[in-house]
Amino acid sequence: MKKSILILLSLVLGAGMLNAQEYYLHTHRNGNVTFEKKISEIDSIWFQSNSAVFNYNSGLQTIPFTNIDSVTFSTDNIMPAYDIYIIYNGNSVTITNPLAGAGVTITDSAACVNVVTTAGITDIIYHVSGTTTDGCLNISSDKRFTLSLEGASITSTTGAAINSIIDKKMTVILADNSVNYLKDCANGTQKAALYSKGQVFFYGNGTLTVEGMTKHAISSGDYIEIYGGNIVVTSAVSDGLHGDYIRMHNGNVTVSGTSGDGLDGDTGFIEINGGTLNVTVATADTKAVKCDSILTINGGTLILNATGAQSKVLKSDQNITINGGNITITASGATVLETVDNQTDPSYCSAITTDGTVNINGGNITITLPVSNNGGKGISADGNITITGGSMHITTSGAGAAYTVSGSTKDSYSSSCIKTDANLLITGGDITCSSSGAGGKGIRADSAMVIGAVDAADSLLTLNVTTSGARFTVTSGGGWGPGGNNGDYCNPKAIRAGGNLTINSGVITVNCTQSGEGGEGIESKAVLNINGGQLTITSTGDDAINAANRLNINGGTTYAASTNNDAIDCNGPMYVTGGFTIAAASRSPEESFDCDNNTFGITGGTIIGTAPSGMYSNPTSSACTQHVLKYTHAANNNIQLIRNSDNEVILTFKVPSLSGGGGPGGGGSSAIMTFSSPEFTVGTYTLKYGGTITGGTNFHNYYTGASYTGGSTKTVTVNTTPIIVTAN
């Protein structure tokens, strides 16, 4: 009321004092001039229903008090010539159209406004404000234009709330501090509550809330770009935002309550460079962010959730590239078994998935697949996956399951943190993967895998992979005993390559804590090459490191330990040419280095192996150029020290606890220790055992710079031949 009185006094005083001269009256809102008339043209002014009514020689102008911040007078015409004002007030509309005689026709019927522009004028600004619960705004413009929403609330009962009919660019400005709302009718023929046949650009700092009752909430027949504003989609029968492509530079977009996708770039691309994007999709088989072309994230903050069965969070039919940004993804939907061509096929709820390739070069990515997601993938690609940088934490918790493909054919599915049907290359970044569900995988490539760049610093890549879920039966067999047939299992794996696996560099830590068999740390179904890196690989259920065809250790520092199987196992030949390797097996008849009695060649590097006495793959003399010490009576927790004839220490090592028992030839507290080093050459050596170590540095029971006291002594002589030296 006080504001109304002040406005009235200003008008009365202004008219009385200034009407002798050619002055203009201006009303303002949010820094804009909303109405302008010469004093001489104004006949009278009055108030009604919380509005100011201006009676001038060409008509009436009604402006709600809420749209007037101030009134000024000047001798200048300061209202932009191309600004048009549309103010809704229930079932009526106030229109200020300075271009009425210049090709802009605006009509309204019961708050449904139709704008037809044939003026050939670029960038006309339509200022829209006020409230209607049964109105609309249809714009047919021959040139690009700007729609400034300044506290507009439009609910349509006949079609779209705002509809740009012709293929021209529409710039939507959400005025500072403004709160705007759009809702279309249900069961209509319109494509969205806010629709433009042309491009749509969003700017400003105000808020726009949209409900799409027939199809999309916001849609463009061309593309959508977001530079500012707070856009909130609370419901949509189909997609939240839909365009031929979508690019986000800044602003805040929140999407929920959709029956379709959150953001759909249709056949085009999606690019996110900045701003905050918060999307939740809850309907089955929907996507939070989806496009048929390339999906690129360069920056911004993304908080994305998918709760529906077999839904996807980031989905592209081509490639996905992540260069930056802070991305938090939760995918909690279940796996669905679908029938395709008379066969059952699982469809997963996954976080990042593409039919093409995934390239991750930066950003901070956190992905969570909780227990309810029983088969989904953190990152999944039909093509290659390449990771060169960024920080990544991926957790999967759901248990996999067996299913019938068709007839008597069985198969299984399980969750994976990272999974590709093709090749995987990881050369940089800080990556943590944890899988706790039955049969869960950490990192899996169906073809080749390369970890670390050649000759790169290990600090450029930190890779931590943990699995703790048990294996489960796919098809039953007759057991593991003599005459039995092995069953078919879905085994948990930390790092698994269907083809060759090459490790060049990086700090790599793998922990498999399964209580039963199957949980292997690093596995290659072909050739495994360790060329560098710092590897710590442990398994409580199966092999720490396993290669199907061949294993080459050419460099790096490796610690591999298993409490229930081999430390390092290869079903074919095994060659050591360099590096530093400790392999510890704790249960008989398992071995530290097991190559099934195939060729075991040692031509360089240092190896230390410990295992309970029993079955053993001996180094192959003809394939070795470096002497090997095989010590068959090392006791549990016993300190072993070897000095050469110059009294120089070449090994200080504490034999770890060994369980023995179990299988053929196993048991007791004795152990087999294997040692080879370039320093172990022809000569006489003193082997001490049972003493005490003080000081020094300990790397998995290997000591450097330590003091050794006490214990017993043996002498070992190394001749030119044989190359395998046995100490008893």
Which pLDDT does position 723 carry in this prediction?
82
Which pLDDT does position 40 carry in this prediction?
80
Structure tokens at 629: 């010490």
pLDDT at 26 over 90: no
Which pLDDT does position 80 carry in this prediction?
64
Which pLDDT does position 480 carry in this prediction?
42
Domain spans of the chain? 2-74, 630-658+671-727
Structure tokens at 402: 């067996």
pLDDT classification of 98: cutoffs 50, 70, 90 = confident
pLDDT at 24 over 50: yes
Closest by alpha carbon to 586, among 646, 664, 657, 642? Answer: 657
Which pLDDT does position 478 carry in this prediction?
47
pLDDT at 13 over 60: no
User: Per mean pLDDT, which range of 61-75, 164-178, 285-299, 638-652 is the poorest?
Assistant: 61-75
Quick one: residue 525, left, alpha or beta (phi over 0 = left, psi -120 to 50 = alpha)?
alpha
* CA 411 vs CA 309, 490, 678: distances in Å: 20, 9, 48
Which pLDDT does position 101 carry in this prediction?
81
Interval 136-157 mean pLDDT: 97
- Cα distance between residue 531 and residue 513, in whole Å: 26
Which pLDDT does position 65 carry in this prediction?
81
Which pLDDT does position 666 carry in this prediction?
37
Interval 276-297 mean pLDDT: 97
Helix (H, G, I), strand (E, B) or coil at 212: strand
* CA 124 vs CA 83, 106, 144, 206, 319: distances in Å: 6, 13, 8, 20, 39
- Cα distance between residue 659 and residue 520, in whole Å: 19
Interval 690-712 mean pLDDT: 91
- Cα distance between residue 583 and residue 78, in whole Å: 84
Q: Exposure of 140 by Cβ count < 10 A (0-12 exposed, 13-18 middle, 19+ buried)? A: middle
Helix (H, G, I), strand (E, B) or coil at 531: coil
At residue 298, what is the residue type? N
- Cα distance between residue 120 and residue 123, in whole Å: 10
Structure tokens at 235: 């419901």
- Cα distance between residue 229 and residue 235, in whole Å: 18
Closest by alpha carbon to 432, among 490, 508, 506? Answer: 508
Which pLDDT does position 154 carry in this prediction?
98
Helix (H, G, I), strand (E, B) or coil at 73: strand
Which pLDDT does position 637 carry in this prediction?
62
Contact of 86 with 127, CB cutoff 8 Å: yes
- Cα distance between residue 244 and residue 448, in whole Å: 36
Which pLDDT does position 41 carry in this prediction?
78
Which pLDDT does position 669 carry in this prediction?
59
User: Per mean pLDDT, which range of 195-204, 332-341, 625-634 is the poorest?
Assistant: 625-634
pLDDT at 296 over 70: yes
Interval 223-237 mean pLDDT: 98
At residue 489, what is the residue type? Y
- Cα distance between residue 352 and residue 331, in whole Å: 10
Interval 404-418 mean pLDDT: 92
407 versus 531: the higher-pLDDT residue is 531
- Cα distance between residue 135 and residue 62, in whole Å: 18
- Cα distance between residue 142 and residue 124, in whole Å: 11
Average pLDDT score, the chain: 90
pLDDT at 448 over 80: yes
Residues 470-491 pLDDT 10s: 999 998 864 444 333 466 889 9
Which pLDDT does position 382 carry in this prediction?
97
Partnered with residue 242 across adjacent β-strands are 219, 264
602 versus 11: the higher-pLDDT residue is 602
Which pLDDT does position 42 carry in this prediction?
86
Contact of 499 with 447, CB cutoff 8 Å: yes
Interval 54-75 mean pLDDT: 76
pLDDT at 620 over 60: yes
Tell me which CATH code domain 2-74 carries.
2.30.30
pLDDT at 351 over 90: yes
Which pLDDT does position 726 carry in this prediction?
76
Residues 535-592 pLDDT 10s: 999 999 899 999 999 999 999 999 999 998 999 999 999 999 999 999 998 877 788 9
- What pTM does this model have? 0.89
Interval 602-630 mean pLDDT: 88
Structure tokens at 700: 């998995």
Which pLDDT does position 419 carry in this prediction?
98
Cβ atoms within 10 Å, residue 50: 11
pLDDT at 124 over 80: yes
Contact of 386 with 359, CB cutoff 8 Å: yes
Q: What is the DSSP string of 443-474?
A: EEESS-EEES-TT--GGGEEEEEEE-PPPEEE
Contact of 527 with 550, CB cutoff 8 Å: yes
At residue 645, what is the residue type? S
Interval 627-650 mean pLDDT: 83
Interval 300-319 mean pLDDT: 97
Which pLDDT does position 425 carry in this prediction?
98
pLDDT classification of 59: cutoffs 50, 70, 90 = low
* CA 522 vs CA 122, 318, 326, 439, 560: distances in Å: 63, 30, 30, 15, 10
